[in-house]
A = this chain, B = another copy of it.
Amino acid sequence: MNFRPYSSQAAADFTAAMDLIAPHIASVEEKIREQASFFESGIEEYITYACGSSGKRLRPALALLAGGATGNVHSEHVALAVILELIHIASLVHDDIMDQAELRRERPTLNAKWGNALTVLVGDVLFAHALRMATQFSKADICRRIADAAIGVCSGEILQTEHRFDTDLSLSNYYRMVEMKTGSLFAVACELGAVFNDAPPEVVAALKKYGTQIGTAYQIIDDCIDLVGDEKNVGKTLGTDLLGGKFTLPVLMLLQSASEEEQVELRQLLLKQETMSREDLVAMIVEQGALTAAIAEASHLIDQAEAALEILAENEYVNGLHSLASYLRGLLPSQ
């Protein structure tokens, strides 16, 4: 069993979705680059650096595709895409402090370059700037929903941090925190993408559900990759969740399926990190079927996300949303 994040099928699905919105994504990239100039001189440098790392821009893609799926993609969608990506970047800036990460996408993190104190503040100011941008929409309600999503991201991360090294973490709490941490921004991207086209409430709700499920599935997949992925394929350091005491779905499912005696031993393994090799744990997770179960859960969420789209009239952007779902499936291991 091996994860295949760069399988040709996944890459083709991703490209199929992104090609549809290529000019808009280019606008998003340009506007992200422009943001630094809105800050005080002396701060610009940090903002440029923080925004300079090129992510996959999944949240912008969802906002734009949801726009196309419900009508036209217009300037409000582009603005929304920029705002959500900036919130995401701000959260990564703070994540890297918490994880004491030194590298992100092969560049030194802000904390590695400038220390924690300055990095806390750069995350703050980027976040404030993003929410300030959200006041540009004529309806205050839009800004509120974006702020709610940001609260969701932080809340999910707080709960996760609180439950580090908690071998009693329930599956329902794991789902709740993952849905908040990653589902929130994915959901609001899709939801507001439809709201900007005055889509009927059931369409808005359907897209919000698609975003929530896709976001949650994406996080579960990312968590699985951190455990059992191949660093060469993935291009980043793996195994950090376990080291940091973040017990993710495969681990929790292994604990759940274990006998009482096995559970005692497993808890000892998980808490006394020095005696546990990642390889041993991964082997157990695979042998006991916990990885398969976690993958099945992610796959089920992707099914639900795609089912939610059935209410929409078919067009190329709706197909694009299906392509993103296929892309996520392509990240799942071939068994």
Contact = CB atoms under 8 A, between A and B. Distances in A.
A130 to B, nearest CB: 9
Given A154-B128, A155-B125, A159-B42, A116 B98 contact: yes
A147 B125 CA distance: 10
B124 A98 contact: no
A150 interface: yes
Given A116-B116, A132-B148, A161-B117, A125 B154 contact: yes
Given A116-B116, A117-B161, A162-B42, A131 B147 contact: yes
B131 A43 contact: no
28 contacts: A39-B155, A40-B155, A43-B159, A91-B124, A94-B120, A94-B121, A98-B117, A98-B121, A118-B158, A121-B158, A121-B161, A122-B158, A123-B124, A124-B127, A124-B154, A125-B154, A125-B158, A128-B131, A128-B147, A129-B147, A131-B131, A132-B148, A135-B135, A135-B140, A135-B141, A135-B144, A136-B140, A140-B143
A131 B155 CA distance: 15
A148 B40 CA distance: 12
B125 A97 contact: no
Interface residues of A, number: 44
Contacts of A151: 125, 128-129, 132
Given A42-B162, A43-B159, A159-B42, A154 B116 contact: no
Which 6 A-B residue pairs are closest in the complex by CB-CB distance? A132-B147, A125-B154, A98-B117, A135-B144, A128-B150, A124-B154
Contacts of A123: 120, 124
Max chain B C-beta neighbours (<10 A), residue from A40, A141, A151, A158: A158
Could you tell me the dominant secondary structure of chain A's interface residues?
A: helix
A157 interface: yes
A129 B158 CA distance: 14
A279 B251 CA distance: 57
A6 interface: no
Contact of A143 (B129, B143, B161): B143
A121 B93 CA distance: 12
Contacts of A180: 40
Given A43-B159, A127-B128, A140-B140, A154 B98 contact: no
A168 B116 CA distance: 23
A49 interface: no
A21 to B, nearest CB: 27
A189 to B, nearest CB: 17
A304 B131 CA distance: 33
Contacts of A128: 127, 131, 147, 150-151, 154
A309 B94 CA distance: 42
